[in-house]
Amino acid sequence: MAPKNTWKKGRGKLGILAPLIGSWVAKADTPMGPVSCTRVLEPVLGANYLKLTVKWNFGKGVYEEQAMLGLLDGVISFWSFTSDGKNSQGRLADGSDIHPEAICFEAQMPAGLARMVYWPHPDGGFNWAVESKTKKGWNRFTIHHYVTIN
């Protein structure tokens, strides 16, 4: 049985991102130990942009990201800045190889092409993954299942 469609797109040019708006948390095991990661996506500046605030809490320290999502030349794009002084910029891309409703962004990074992908989880919330492009396809190195923060 196919999972039920839990994602409802909103109105406007950023409406595709409506399922991600809110406050979310994921817990996962990583090579650096357990992590609790929160993502808060909220409309700002007259709802012309969305602000993403991410905090990765590893217990021994916190890694943070601030990103803005909006239109660039008519394409949904992001501009990200992290607590280690790095930044990246990317654009909406096709992630239908993961899920038909996937929301995917690609960015050219110093190590090559990378993408982050969001897609609905059958138990609610969403999955989020980061992958790098290789000669054989996409190599996934992070995946989280986010649920809403009560």
The model's pLDDT over 102-129, given as tens digits with 9 standing for 90+, comes to 999 999 998 899 999 999 999 999 999 9
Per-position b or e across 23-43, b if 16+ CB within 10 A of its CB: ebbbeeeeeeeebebebebeb
User: Is residue 26 predicted with pLDDT exceeding 90?
Assistant: yes
The model's pLDDT over 138-147, given as tens digits with 9 standing for 90+, comes to 999 999 999 9
For residue 82, the SS3 value is strand
More confident residue, 59 or 44: 44
The DSSP symbol for 32 reads: T
Q: What letter represents residue 130's amino acid? A: V
The DSSP symbol for 84 reads: T
pLDDT band at residue 30 under the 50/70/90 scheme = confident
pLDDT, the chain, mean: 93
Mean pLDDT of 81-106: 96
Q: How many CA atoms lie within 13 A of 98 on its CB side?
A: 26
Query: In this prediction, what percent of the chain has a pLDDT beyond 70?
Result: 96
Which domains occur in the chain, in start order? 15-148 (2.40.128.20)
Q: What letter represents residue 132's amino acid? A: S
pTM here is: 0.92
Residue 15 to residues 21, 69, 150: CA-CA distances in angstroms? 10, 12, 23
In the prediction, which pLDDT does 6 show?
63
In the prediction, which pLDDT does 73 show?
95
* Lookup: tokens for 48: 């012309």
Residue 10 to residues 7, 18, 63, 75, 88: CA-CA distances in angstroms? 10, 5, 30, 16, 26
The model's pLDDT over 50-78, given as tens digits with 9 standing for 90+, comes to 999 999 999 889 999 999 999 999 999 99
In the prediction, which pLDDT does 3 show?
44
Q: Contact, 51 vs 66, CB < 8 A?
A: yes
